Amino acid sequence: MKLLLIRLCFATALFTVGIVPVALASDTAVILMYHRFGESHLPTTNTTVAQLEDHIAALQDGGYTVVPLADVVSALNGEHNLPPRAIAITVDDAYRSFLTTGWPRFKAAGFPVTLFVATEGVDAGYSDTLTWNEILTLQRDGVVIGAHSHNHSHFPSLSAATVAQDLAEMSAAFERALGDVPDVFAYPYGEAGRADMTAVRNAGFVAGFGQHSGAVGPLADRFYLPRFALNEQFGRLERFRLIIETLPLPVVSISPVDPVLQSNPPAITIELTDSLPNLENVTCFGPSGEQLNVVAGTNTVSVNPTSSFPAGRARLNCTLRSVDRLTQGRWYWYGWQMIAEFESEGIAVHPRYR
Is residue 187 a contact residue for Zn ion (CB under 5 A)? no
Give the C-alpha separation, 120 to 115, whole Å. 15
Q: Which is nearer to Zn ion, 173 or 276 (CB)?
A: 173
The minimum distance between CB 191 and Zn ion, in angstroms, equals 10
User: Alpha-carbon dihedral of residues 268, 274, 279, 280, nearest 10 degrees?
Assistant: 70
Instruction: Please give the sequence-ordered ranges of beta strands (E in DSSP) within 182-247, or none if there are none.
Output: 184-186, 207-209, 228-229
191 contacts Zn ion (rule: CB under 5 A): no
The CA-atom distances, in angstroms, between 77 and each of 15, 70, 186, 220, 270 are: 18, 11, 18, 10, 22
Question: By C-beta, is 83 or 190 nearer to Zn ion?
Answer: 190
Q: Nearest approach, Cβ of 251 to Zn ion (angstroms)?
A: 26
* Listed ranges 107-115, 153-161, 199-207, 346-354: which one lies at the site for Zn ion (CB under 5 A): 346-354
Residue 93 engages Zn ion in binding (rule: CB under 5 A): yes
Which is nearer to Zn ion, 147 or 272 (by Cβ)? Answer: 147
Number of C-beta neighbours around residue 234 at 10 A: 15
Q: Is 286 left (phi over 0), alpha (psi -120 to 50) or beta?
A: beta
Nearest residue (beta carbon) to Zn ion: 353
For residue 122, the minimal CB distance to Zn ion (Å) is: 12
Among 37, 174, 333, 353, binds Zn ion (CB under 5 A): 353
**Which part of the chain contacts Zn ion (CB under 5 A), choosing from 54-62, 92-100, 195-203, 304-312?**
92-100
Q: Are 348 and 148 in contact (CB under 8 A)?
A: no
Q: Does residue 92 touch Zn ion according to CB under 5 A? A: yes
Provide the minimum distance between the beta carbon of 264 and Zn ion in the complex, in angstroms, as a whole number: 25
Crossing angle of helices 160-178 and 194-202, rounded to 10°: 40
For residues 82 and 167, which CB has a smaller minimum distance to Zn ion in the complex?
Answer: 167
Residue 16: what residue type? T
| Residues making contact with Zn ion (CB under 5 A) | 92-93, 353
